[in-house]
Amino acid sequence: MPNRKFNPLFLALVLVLLVSACQQPEKELREKLYVFGTIVEITIRDKDEAAARAALRDVAADFRRMHKDWHAWKPGELSTLNAAIAAGKTAKVSDFLLSLLLQAQRYERTSDGLFNAAIGALVADWGFHNDDLPKGRAPPYAAIRAWVEAKPKVADLVIRDHEVSSSNRGMQLDFGGFAKGEALDRAVLQLKAHGIKNAILNAGGDLNVMGLHSKRPWRAGIRHPKTWGVIATVDLKPGEVLYTSGNYERFLEYEGVRYSHIIDPRTGWPVKHIVSASVIGRNGADADAAATALSVAGPSGWHRIARRMGVKFAMLVDDQGRIYLNPAMKARIQLEDEKAGEVILSPPLF
């Protein structure tokens, strides 16, 4: 008769095998994709390399579609709508575009019009719609004044089911202020659908994170507006995002003056005082829009707009190197150089 006696050695061996199967090391898979003129680096930490590769393939296909359909200046659904608006006509939009229009209206409302996705014609006047940096001079004063007086805003859209027109023919939609966030949010949904739990998506310092980096949080750097380094580091919790709007990213340089690609819709002129605004949040598109809006709001208005937009963590840097932040943000970040600039702490945001 075989010996049925319990063999502790055998059990130990089985346990070791089981544990090592569960602890199969996570692999790190890294891929660079391209959307909206930016390289998006996606790093996935997962045991299942095949699932990660399949997820990346689907994200790449989505990015290609978004790049085409959301581009305000290249042939696609958005440029078709812009052409219809300019001609005083109605266009039928997809669910996809409709949800973006409604989103843009919400950002416009909560930012008191500082985030204005109807700013396309002005962005074009300044030359920021080209892939290359604009050259030449600022647009004529009269053109800027005419745009400001026409007051185009996303609220001018007349939306009936999927039929869209505008009561203001001077409006041209440009989703540049939140498209990157929206694209990364959609990529996260795609990765989740493939069962991916741990990843970081990095579009030139704008980030969405999923899960953890092995057992610790993903650590991110907030870009320094003047140098190529980082001004502060922060540990991002699972599902958090970090977005920075910087007037150094794209600009027009003319007679020694730099004009930023972030434009104040109240004046039609580029933002000067704030050189960067960073927001930590839980949704990429919301944080992206908020970072742009806070740049426009400036030192005196950012706190009120941040509250209205539901921002919990924000940091702004002005052209004198002053750092404005709310107490919760201060508690989360580690400044690289404590003496980098005067730190101005605001009242709490929440």
Q: Does 176 bind ligand AMP (CB under 6 A)?
A: yes
**Nearest CB to ligand AMP, comparing residues 56 and 274:** 274
Q: Does 284 bind ligand AMP (CB under 6 A)?
A: no
Interatomic CA distance for residues 176 and 117, integer angstroms:
8
Q: Which does 201 bind (CB under 5 to 8 A by kind): ligand AMP, Mg ion, none?
A: none
Q: Does 292 bind ligand AMP (CB under 6 A)?
A: yes
Q: Which does 121 bind (CB under 5 to 8 A by kind): ligand AMP, Mg ion, none?
A: none
Q: Which of 129, 112, 139, 123 is nearest to 171 (CA)?
A: 123
Q: Which of 226, 37, 256, 228 is nearest to 133 (CA)?
A: 37
Interatomic CA distance for residues 314 and 306, integer angstroms:
8
Note whether 16 and 6 are within 8 A (CB): no
Binding mask 235-274 for Mg ion (x = CB under 5 A): ----------x-----------------------------
Please say whether the dihedral angle defined by the alpha carbons of residues 263, 268, 270 and 274, taken in this order, is positive or negative: negative
Q: Which does 283 bind (CB under 5 to 8 A by kind): ligand AMP, Mg ion, none?
A: none
Q: Rounded to the nearest whole angstrom, what is the least distance from the CB of residue 292 to ligand AMP in the complex?
A: 4
Out of 85, 263, 294, 317, point to the residue binding ligand AMP (CB under 6 A).
263
Q: Return phi, psi of residue 232, to 5°.
A: -155, 160
Out of 67, 213, 261, 303, point to the residue binding ligand AMP (CB under 6 A).
261
Q: CA-CA distances (angstroms) from residue 36 to 63, 170, 264?
A: 9, 24, 22
Q: Does 76 bind Mg ion (CB under 5 A)?
A: no
Q: Does 223 bind ligand AMP (CB under 6 A)?
A: no
Q: Which of 310, 330, 342 is nearest to 234 (CA)?
A: 330
Q: Does 292 bind Mg ion (CB under 5 A)?
A: yes
Note whether 106 and 115 are within 8 A (CB): no
Note whether 173 and 70 are within 8 A (CB): no
Interatomic CA distance for residues 42 and 59, integer angstroms:
10
Q: Does 174 bind ligand AMP (CB under 6 A)?
A: yes
Q: Does 147 bind ligand AMP (CB under 6 A)?
A: no
Q: Does 128 bind ligand AMP (CB under 6 A)?
A: yes
**Nearest CB to Mg ion, comparing residues 33 and 309:** 309
Q: Which of 178, 168, 208 is nearest to 107 (CA)?
A: 178
Out of 79, 105, 116, 172, point to the residue binding ligand AMP (CB under 6 A).
116
Q: Does 265 bind ligand AMP (CB under 6 A)?
A: yes
Cα pseudo-dihedral 266, 269, 275, 276, rounded to 10? 50
Q: Does 190 bind ligand AMP (CB under 6 A)?
A: no
Q: Does 280 bind ligand AMP (CB under 6 A)?
A: no
Q: Rounded to the nearest whole angstrom, what is the least distance from the CB of residue 231 to ligand AMP in the complex?
A: 17
- State the greatest distance between any 2 C-alpha atoms of the chain, in Å, as a whole number: 102
**Nearest CB to Mg ion, comparing residues 111 and 198:** 111
Q: Which does 297 bind (CB under 5 to 8 A by kind): Mg ion, ligand AMP, none?
A: none
Interatomic CA distance for residues 66 and 58, integer angstroms:
12
Q: Does 115 bind ligand AMP (CB under 6 A)?
A: yes
How far does the chain reach from its first CA to its final CA, in angstroms?
73
What is the footprint of ligand AMP within residues 52-81 (CB under 6 A)? none
C-alpha neighbours within 13 Å on the C-beta side of residue 9:
0
Q: Does 242 bind ligand AMP (CB under 6 A)?
A: no
The CA-based angle 198-202-207, given to 5 degrees, is 80
Q: Rounded to the nearest whole angstrom, what is the least distance from the CB of residue 48 to ligand AMP in the complex?
A: 34
Where do contacts with ligand AMP occur on this chain (CB under 6 A)? 115-117, 119, 123, 128, 174, 176-177, 245, 249-250, 261-263, 265, 288, 291-292, 296
